[in-house]
Structure 1
Amino acid sequence: MATYGTNVHVRFKDFVESLKNENFRAERSFLKEAADPTSRDELDIGYPRSVRVDAYEYRPESGTLCVYDLKTGRRGLSVPRSDILATAAYLGIRDVRRVIMLEVRPRK
């Protein structure tokens, strides 16, 4: 099951990157807190106190940020985890007015 999940995430990342849209990005890390001065910078994967979203899509005309979390197993996206992801992405993108969290369950 882990191999399947990894495969789905890699294929989704490749799809998002193929679109070449700077407002639709995959596998981006954000800081969990805004106190760090690097909170709006690109972070390396695994940066301390960071969290990585599977993908996000920012619509600047409406200030809407959609954060996508892919799930391939039985467990869903918990409320605490969705709060962490939404808050970190919100702090890392300028001019966001609302965040929509989406649990995505790809078909096999």
Structure 2
Amino acid sequence: MDLRHHSREYTFHRVLLGMGVDASVRKQGIGVKLIELVTTFCRETDSIDWLDLNLLSINLPAKNLYLKCGFEVLGEIRDCYRIDGESVSELTMTKCTKNHV
């Protein structure tokens, strides 16, 4: 898992989440725990209000995990990638980490 600030100067109140869980240990609640930990970290950090992520639209298990953990879909870039000759979209999702926003 990693967190990165967006590269633009005025977006430092947002971070970009990158994470993955090895296939051999999926469906054990590890993804939920990781998101809970990173959400808590962001809440305790005064300057981080939003947790953003991008994922392939065909990754339904990941999308469902993020929805379950309170993320919402912001948008979709259609035909963002060509994987094995197939068009694949990219979803952008976000979660507010503060109660006041």
Larger radius of gyration, structure 1 or 2? 2
Q: Place the TM-score, normalised by the shorter chain, in its bin.
A: 0.3 to 0.5
Relative to the length of structure 1, the TM-score reads 0.33
More strand by share: 2
